[in-house]
Structure 1
């Protein structure tokens, strides 16, 4: 039974990373255009601004942007929420206990990988604020996993039957994850 849980968690983690990669790098890009980016043949204007000043984009969205409030909130909160599952799932997948610092570093490294890929292959713009928000999201995901372990024990025992039924159906768990990520 334990092996099925581990395999299920790895499956969910891989699906999560695929969805995250699609959302961050490829968005709604056709395959032919992706190929052009990877071969450096994409004709992308260099109007994509890169930000290396911490909190510049965050402050702009919070106080100075002349755009719909929902777009501003979506950009800030979306970066945080997108990486929360990473911080939540990573400790569950590790055989040994993983501490807060390790999860934060792993989240930072994953986010940096995405940002550098955007910079090198012109899939978007490099933004240090994305690194900050994504890392915050991973940290919040880790904290959430610890709250689950300590504060929600009675709740978890009540929902144990539901989790076992979801475990037997990875498709249901996949749908639940997609619903929570949107």
Structure 2
């Protein structure tokens, strides 16, 4: 019975993972948010670590809290599901190091696509924040797994 339940859970997580990837790529490349489609906007990129993070924190009153939250916290939150779902779906990539590496690689791929296509903006700070999001997602996965095991033991 438990094996059947586990198989259903893996199928559900697999579906959630691919829906997440599709939604992620839609918002990163096709959504009309953040002036992505503005013809008058010049393309910007950042290759200096902490430059944009510092700028957003320093000018938070001018930019507004929504913009600051969207950029800093949003970049972390958007990769939380990735860090949670990868260890569920893969026996090979279960460890913290592998999830961190995969989070970094996916973020690098996104930023390189943004650099080449000039959609959004390529930013190394986003890569850092996305990777942190994947790491926190993995930490949530570990925490939930421990809680489930304690619950089963009772």
TM-score tier (shorter): 0.7 to 0.9
Distance in 2 of aligned mates of 1:106 and 1:97: 8
Of the three residues 100, 104, 107, the one matched with 1:104 is 100
Superposition map of 1:1-150 within 5 A: 1=4, 2-28=6-32, 47-65=42-60, 66-96=62-92, 98-150=94-146
Of 70-79 and 144-153, more deviation after overlay is shown by 144-153
Distance in 2 of aligned mates of 1:116 and 1:44: 21
CA 1:109–1:8 in 2, change beyond 3 Å: closer, same or farther? Answer: same
8 A contact 2:86–2:99 mirrored in 1: yes
Identify the residue that residue 32 of structure 1 maps to in structure 2. Answer: none
Distance in 1 of aligned mates of 2:144 and 2:106: 24
TM-score, with normalisation over the residues of structure 1? 0.72
CA 1:122–1:63 in 2, change beyond 3 Å: closer, same or farther? Answer: same
Structure 1 stretches of 4+ moved >4 Å: 42-46, 151-154
Q: Deviations over 1:79-119 (max 9, x none)?
A: 00000000011000013462111101100000111111111
Identify the residue that residue 178 of structure 1 maps to in structure 2. Answer: none
Task: Please list every run of 5 or more consecutive structure 2 residues that lacks an aligned counterpart in the other structure.
Answer: none
8 A contact 1:25–1:123 mirrored in 2: yes
For residue 25 of structure 1, report the CA deviation from its aligned partner.
1.2
Distance in 2 of aligned mates of 1:115 and 1:97: 22
Aligned length: 144
Distance in 1 of aligned mates of 2:38 and 2:128: 29
